[in-house]
Structure 1
């Protein structure tokens, strides 16, 4: 008899993917005001990776992988976590959470362009509409006086764009790479290796480390939430949804996460939501919609259906 999905679990899983991942911008912003960015991200991912390894051992999952698979998890960990997430955390020192989330929501656009450049894939007419709208939306977002007048905001936006390109290329890489078949083991290695790379970056840039006991309460709480919920609970929920509902329904997080980030940044950090930001969000997310909906999210499904877990990184860890 076929198992019937539990509606309550589905609702809770969507809540995790929508709200928890949308809230990671706020949590990172709170923590990075006190902690060095690469230190913050390193502690988060090394701890999360270690906890996943412990869970795997308790549940009897083998952590044995081949040398090639290990090397590929290092590359993926660099693209998604060390470079991608680490640079975004750094940029959050200079950019509002809502702006960062909206810029990152353009990732499907960048993936599409990279597929065109690297693989020579033709961009369908509907997706071209999405590309044009996405570019217009990004311009409206970053051209605001409120953004340009903030110190180092242009640098922050530029660094996020580089991180976004790393995420997009990583999406192409994991779709072809030989990685551990178990998504939880795969995630653990990528997080742990990415965290180690971030530790090296922190040492290279001379960041000053401090013990958790010396952190303020908001930073301690933010780090705990990032590790347990942002890195483990939301990811598990995402993979549960991939196996329970259609990929296009899961992909709706692309549209919801930036809205959650905007609202939380406005409410908790008094970040300003301008009329132009709202217009930019509408234009940009409409463009992402045109890209994602072509032929039932073929772009999304190309990676989502190949994993057990390889596709998680495209959403905000």
Structure 2
């Protein structure tokens, strides 16, 4: 990764490590908060903080068109992508969810190709190797699903990838952090309204651990990692930006072994080696845009 600009490298590591660590935080937060409300309030809080910070720095308020474009991307990526994934996980096992999410970089690269930016041969090899590694890693868990869960998960991945491509190729958000803030605010409010319309109920009493986990998701998962991902979409090819889908489970497994006393099987070690090799191919396939 030495040829990558420092800003791109920091963004990649942020997405890899932070989103890999949010698996546990989401589990803890869901003990007290319903899925859509938890995700929606998380992004509303993060978007509000970022919006006020940008105003304090003197950034201009987005125009109506920029609010519209940011809102479309926010509803697709946050409302459709994260919201439908949360709903799907009620019917799909975690292992199968990881495999479906690992399809995201392939779909993302294919959509990018429709706009004339097809991946290079080395990138395709890296994408396919990463997918194979993710399937091998997820095979340690249980593969079970109901048809409704499969449909929701496919819709979630398509929403996330279409939103990612539109933000890169077609729609124009406000510059910098103000654009990311508008995206999180509209997407977050969309999820809160959806939660209220569906009549979601809290699964249990609000605990200190759940509140701390929610705060971590707001600051690290949304403010840092989601902003870093949107930055990557503007700087590197979609195959590399989407490689988080392979690396996040590796980080989650490593954290579980380090802090949760979980055992790492030989199969998981082989899978993680394949995944890290695929990331090396993706990072060295082309130089980032200046």
CA distance in 2 between counterparts of 1:89 and 1:160 reads: 9
Q: Which residue is equivalent to 2:58? A: 60
In structure 2, runs of 5+ residues without a counterpart are 1-5
CA distance in 2 between counterparts of 1:39 and 1:110 reads: 28
Q: Does 1:82 align with 2:79?
A: yes
Q: Which residue is equivalent to 2:216? A: 225
Q: Does 1:133 align with 2:126?
A: no
CA distance in 2 between counterparts of 1:180 and 1:251 reads: 19
Q: Which residue is equivalent to 2:192? A: 199
Structure 2 SS opposite 1:61: coil
CA distance in 1 between counterparts of 2:117 and 2:171 reads: 22
Q: Which residue is equivalent to 2:28? A: 30
Stretch of structure 1 that moved more, 51-60 or 78-87: 51-60
In structure 1, runs of 5+ residues without a counterpart are 1-6, 306-317
Contact in 1 for aligned 2:22/2:217 (Cα 8 Å): yes
Q: Does 1:283 align with 2:278?
A: no
Q: Does 1:164 align with 2:157?
A: yes
Contact in 2 for aligned 1:73/1:189 (Cα 8 Å): yes
Q: TM-score, normalised by structure 2?
A: 0.75
Which one of the candidate residues 40, 48, 51 is aligned to 1:50?
A: 48
Q: Which residue is equivalent to 2:142? A: 147
Contact in 2 for aligned 1:141/1:280 (Cα 8 Å): yes
1:132 Cα deviation after fit:
3.8
Contact in 2 for aligned 1:70/1:179 (Cα 8 Å): no
Give per-residue Cα distances to partners, 1:231-268, cap 9 Å, x unaligned: 2244566789999xx969x9697365332222234556
Q: TM-score, normalised by structure 1?
A: 0.70
How many residues in Structure 1 have an aligned counterpart in Structure 2? 281
CA distance in 2 between counterparts of 1:239 and 1:115 reads: 15
Contact in 2 for aligned 1:111/1:169 (Cα 8 Å): yes
1:43 Cα deviation after fit:
0.8
CA distance in 1 between counterparts of 2:264 and 2:97 reads: 13
1:27 Cα deviation after fit:
1.0
Which one of the candidate residues 14, 19, 26 is aligned to 2:17?
A: 19
Distance 1:121 1:12, change over 3 A: closer
CA distance in 1 between counterparts of 2:231 and 2:162 reads: 25
Stretch of structure 1 that moved more, 45-54 or 133-142: 133-142
Give per-residue Cα distances to partners, 1:87-120, cap 9 Å, x unaligned: 3334455544x8756754553322112234x346
CA distance in 2 between counterparts of 1:240 and 1:132 reads: 24
Which one of the candidate residues 170, 187, 190 is aligned to 2:183?
A: 190
